[in-house]
């Protein structure tokens, strides 16, 4: 009796992360299979002594909050993307035990290709695939595993082959691939089948622990709430109906002959990067940037304009130059349909603190190189921020009165240099002279390292200096 009531140490005693007053029960409906499977996994992790090196990945679905319960490492991933996240976790931490826990909507619909390629690469992870023949979390829409004739929210007259195709047997598909080591389908319908599921769960995890083997366990599981049956009746349905479409059993097992897969963690020293990336790089004299290392810098820059105006490279130059000065930097391009003739933009962060997200939504600096960009982003600039706009192309002034505005005729000045394309570097010069977060000398010196076309270095140096002069002339 004591053993039956034993709660695995792999579960938290109290589910502190779960909102609300009830911190002792799970979010699952009575009779739901998720609870059973959680228990089997938790007990195996405890018995194998790997709790503290397990990373549990839950994507979207009713098990999205698995991290309320599992006292392991946890990552909550986007819908269908758990296998990619699991791949990254395992490769970064080869000694960890990585579990990708996915529903049928998640794994077989939105994440259908993700799992296929992960299985095909034979990543050293364990996938638990909860097939309850329905989208549980969202209230009972059709899943790829929904049975023919089964009524769901989105197939109110029952699934038909003509409209929705056949239910997909994922375990069989995964078993056709070369890399997976062990693939089995089990069910959670009665004591006997739960014991068989327990054995499969343990075998799959053991194979990861001992051999880094990719294993895939499909688990036929009851969802009483959306199948609209009592918990007992749903279990019978899993056994008597669902199982007919999805036959239980081992679909592939090469575990005996499979040789342990070594996952090497590649250690790259920062100083080796230029050579690996084939970048010409001469370190900057620390003396030259010492003064800038003391500054408190946290700039969030939005650069926007037409595709072809050098918007993205303007951002790259700022980020690269920031790096030369020892700042944390990020650069995030936005490629959208707007690239063809409309607006293109990128986000750049330059900071001497850690950068959490590369996205800039409220810029401290907006660089608007065309009118649609000024229209689109002016309102987002933080009060006290800066707007630099190309006054030779934009026929209106910013309306904001709580920000600093620099009307810079960048295109006109670039034409004076002989090429319109230099407008972006003129803006770089004016901006850096305004911000005073980098040494102009170092920027000019570094251009040679980062520009791929060496014949353009001199021209861009002139353009940056022209921007600097323009800003000085405003004073």
Ligand X SMILES: Cc1ncc(C[n+]2csc(CCOP(=O)(O)OP(=O)(O)O)c2C)c(N)n1
- Residue from 41, 50, 60, 62 touching ligand SF4 (CB under 6 A): that is 62
- Residue 297 interacts with ligand SF4 (CB under 6 A): yes or no: no
- Residue 238 interacts with ligand SF4 (CB under 6 A): yes or no: no
Residues of this chain that bind ligand X (CB under 6 A): 60-63, 79, 103-106, 130, 132, 134-138, 143
- Residue 421 interacts with ligand SF4 (CB under 6 A): yes or no: no
Task: State the minimum distance, in angstroms, from the CB of residue 32 to ligand SF4.
Answer: 3
DSSP-derived secondary structure letter, 102 = E
CA distance 332 to 468: 25
Q: 453: which residues sit within 8 A by CB, 6+ positions away? A: none
Task: State the minimum distance, in angstroms, from the CB of residue 30 to ligand SF4.
Answer: 8
Task: State the minimum distance, in angstroms, from the CB of residue 275 to ligand SF4.
Answer: 52
CA distance 231 to 173: 30
DSSP-derived secondary structure letter, 165 = -
- Residue 465 interacts with ligand SF4 (CB under 6 A): yes or no: no
Binding partner of residue 225 among ligand X, ligand SF4, Mg ion, none, CB cut-off 5 to 8 Å per kind:
ligand SF4
Closest by alpha carbon to 307, among 268, 330, 336, 269?
Answer: 336
CA distance 198 to 430: 66
DSSP-derived secondary structure letter, 238 = I
- Residue 32 interacts with ligand SF4 (CB under 6 A): yes or no: yes
Comparing CB distances to Mg ion, the nearer of 132 and 225 is: 132
Binding partner of residue 29 among Mg ion, ligand X, ligand SF4, none, CB cut-off 5 to 8 Å per kind:
ligand SF4
Are the beta carbons of 73 and 93 closer than 8 angstroms? no
Q: 385: which residues sit within 8 A by CB, 6+ positions away? A: 363, 364, 365, 366, 403, 404
Comparing CB distances to Mg ion, the nearer of 59 and 385 is: 59
- Residue 435 interacts with ligand SF4 (CB under 6 A): yes or no: no
Task: State the minimum distance, in angstroms, from the CB of residue 136 to ligand SF4.
Answer: 3
Task: State the minimum distance, in angstroms, from the CB of residue 190 to ligand SF4.
Answer: 17
- Residue from 29, 75, 88, 456 touching ligand SF4 (CB under 6 A): that is 29
* H-state helical runs in 212-306: 224-227, 231-237, 243-245, 273-276, 286-293
Comparing CB distances to ligand SF4, the nearer of 85 and 143 is: 143
Report 383-412 residues binding ligand SF4 (CB under 6 A): none
- Rg of the Cα atoms in the chain: 29
Torsion on CA atoms 42, 48, 52, 54, rounded to nearest 10: -70
Closest by alpha carbon to 145, among 63, 232, 221, 253?
Answer: 221
- Residue from 77, 87, 118, 132 touching ligand SF4 (CB under 6 A): that is 132
Element (H, E) at 305: strand 298-306
- Residue 102 interacts with ligand SF4 (CB under 6 A): yes or no: no
Comparing CB distances to Mg ion, the nearer of 131 and 351 is: 131
CA distance 312 to 336: 13
Task: State the minimum distance, in angstroms, from the CB of residue 135 to Mg ion.
Answer: 6
Task: State the minimum distance, in angstroms, from the CB of residue 255 to ligand SF4.
Answer: 30
Spell out, one character per residue from 129 to 148, where the chain touches Mg ion: x when CB under 5 A holds, - when not. Answer: ---x---x------------
How many degrees, rounded to 5, is the angle at CA 285 between CA 282 and CA 290? 135
Q: 441: which residues sit within 8 A by CB, 6+ positions away? A: 288
* H-state helical runs in 337-422: 371-377, 410-417
Which positions lie near ligand SF4, rule CB under 6 A?
A: 28-29, 32, 34, 62, 132, 136-137, 223-226
């Amino acid at each position: 009796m004591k053993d039956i009531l034993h709660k695995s140490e792999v579960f938290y005693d109290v589910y502190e992360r779960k909102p609300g007053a009830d911190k002792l029960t799970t979010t699952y409906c009575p009779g739901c299979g998720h609870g059973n499977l959680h228990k089997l996994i938790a007990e195996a992790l405890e018995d194998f002594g790997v709790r503290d090196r397990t990373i549990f990945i839950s994507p979207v679905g009713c098990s999205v909050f698995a991290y309320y319960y599992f006292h392991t490492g946890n990552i909550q991933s986007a819908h269908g993307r758990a296998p990619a996240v699991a791949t990254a976790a395992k490769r970064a931490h080869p000694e960890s035990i990585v579990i990708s826990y996915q529903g049928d909507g998640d794994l077989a619909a939105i994440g259908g290709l993700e799992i296929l390629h992960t299985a095909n690469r034979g990543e050293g992870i364990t996938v638990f695939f909860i097939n309850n023949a329905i989208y549980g979390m969202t209230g009972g829409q059709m899943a790829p595993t929904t049975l023919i004739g089964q009524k769901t929210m989105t197939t109110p007259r029952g699934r038909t082959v003509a409209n929705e195709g056949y239910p997909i047997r994922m375990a069989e598909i995964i078993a056709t691939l070369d890399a997976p080591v062990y693939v089995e389908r089990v069910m959670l319908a009665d004591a006997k089948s739960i014991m068989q599921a327990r054995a499969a769960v343990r075998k799959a995890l053991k194979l990861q622990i001992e051999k880094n083997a990719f294993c895939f366990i499909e688990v036929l599981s009851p969802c009483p709430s959306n199948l609209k049956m009592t918990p007992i009746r749903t279990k019978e349905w899993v056994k008597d109906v669902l199982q007919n479409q999805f036959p239980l059993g081992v679909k592939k097992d090469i575990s005996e002959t499979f040789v342990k897969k070594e996952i090497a963690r590649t250690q790259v020293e920062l100083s080796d990067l230029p050579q690996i990336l084939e970048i010409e790089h001469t370190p900057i004299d620390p003396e030259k940037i010492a003064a800038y290392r003391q500054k408190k810098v946290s700039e969030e820059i939005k650069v926007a304009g037409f595709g072809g105006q050098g918007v993205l490279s303007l951002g790259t130059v700022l980020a690269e130059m920031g790096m030369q000065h020892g700042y944390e930097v990020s650069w995030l391009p936005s490629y959208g349909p707007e690239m063809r003739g409309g607006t293109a933009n990128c986000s750049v962060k330059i900071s001497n603190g850690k950068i959490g997200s590369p996205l800039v939504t409220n810029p401290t600096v907006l660089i608007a190189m065309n009118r649609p960009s000024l229209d689109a982003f002016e309102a987002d600039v933080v009060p006290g921020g800066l707007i630099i706009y190309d006054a030779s192309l934009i026929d209106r002034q910013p309306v904001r009165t709580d920000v600093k505005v620099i009307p810079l005729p960048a295109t006109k000045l670039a034409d004076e240099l002989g090429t319109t394309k230099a407008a972006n570097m003129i803006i770089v010069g004016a901006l850096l002279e305004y911000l005073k977060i980098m040494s102009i000398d170092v920027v000019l010196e570094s251009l040679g390292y980062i520009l791929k076309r060496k014949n353009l270095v001199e021209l861009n140096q002139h353009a940056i200096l022209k921007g600097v002069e323009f800003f000085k002339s405003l004073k």
